[in-house]
Amino acid sequence: MSGVRLIQVSDEDSDIRLDRWFKRQYPGLSHIRLEKLLRTGQVRVDGGRVKAATRLAAGSTVRIPPLDEWAEAPLPPDDRQKPGPKPPSEAENEKLRQMVLYRDKDVIAINKPHGLAVQGGTNMTKHVDGMLDALMFDSKERPRLVHRLDKDTSGVLLLARSAKAAAWLAEAFREKTARKTYWAVVAGVPRPHRGKIDLPVGKGVDGAREKMVADEDEGRWAVTYYAVVEQAAQKVAWLALMPITGRTHQLRVHCAEIGSPILGDGKYGGDKAVLDGIDHSRKLHLHARSIRLNRPDGGVLEVTAPLPAHMQTTWKFFGFDAKPDSDPFLELDLD
């Protein structure tokens, strides 16, 4: 068809969602119209039908049908005049660089702090994604996000330094070969002390706010292994958690469903998740402690992140030993 364009995805746009790619390329094209073009197969990637949330790979070819002039036009003057997010200061950039736990030619791992979002959202001006230029170091490419952590969850966050690294890291998460271990403090002590939570999770509503809920009928498959590492009487427990799937708020929902909500998680645990007399008990006590995955060359990448300050305080309060004797999931057979 005359007017059809085939555009190759650049390295810079690798792993970006298709709808966000269109927003960059064709700012005048509405999301509703893009969805129609996708439904009718007029927009394709590498010849196949795709969805708006499809993530693009460097080198892929996007088919663009003929578009109206307004769809290809630059943003209106009013929009161009709106100030964008304030760029991070050098002090903020240096603070991000100090979060680096590990770096090689393929990967950067940072210890994301509690309260820092990974990506932007409504009224969200400060986030890791907006600061990644500070982590280019000796590379000409901007690091790429390959997985996510909730804003209030701290711990290991991996970044890919190239499109090639992004591909194998994304595959490790997609194929569930990456072993992720989280530490949490929960209210109460789960029984039994070790177990597998196999409970689908889906979107629900609590009053006027949206939240994730356990939903065996329409929820998505979600599995978490847990183990009690230490406990303080029957009041709280230190849990090691290993999610096999990566559903939104999965660990928070699963812990609440077995009667032991994560400390500080008022959204899913209510009043039970806030304990009197404990400093920072309203801060979420969930930490991505470590990630372990195999490299394409046969090596192993393993990164561990120290606890954030508020969780260190809680560990000290209950007398927990921050260096457990062994990995509670070491002999777990996931095959």
> What are the catalytic residues?
150
Is residue 244 within 8 A of residue 201, CB to CB? The reply is no
- What letter would DSSP give residue 108? E
- The strand ranges marked E within the chain are 5-8, 44-45, 61-64, 100-103, 107-112, 144-145, 154-160, 179-187, 194-198, 201-206, 209-214, 223-232, 236-243, 286-294, 300-304
Of 179, 181, 182, 166, the residue nearest 107 (C-alpha): 166
Of 16, 22, 48, 47, the residue nearest 35 (C-alpha): 22
Task: State whether residue 206 is helix, strand or coil.
Answer: strand
What's the CA gap between 179 and 191, in Å, rounded? 24
What's the CA gap between 147 and 134, in Å, rounded? 19
As given in the structure block, the two tokens for residue 274 are: 């806030």
Q: How many other C-beta atoms lie within 10 A of the C-beta of residue 161?
A: 22
What's the CA gap between 201 and 203, in Å, rounded? 7
159 CB contacts (<8 Å, ≥6 apart)? 107, 108, 109, 110, 132, 135, 143, 144, 145, 146
As given in the structure block, the two tokens for residue 88 are: 């991070």
Of 52, 53, 26, 24, the residue nearest 39 (C-alpha): 52
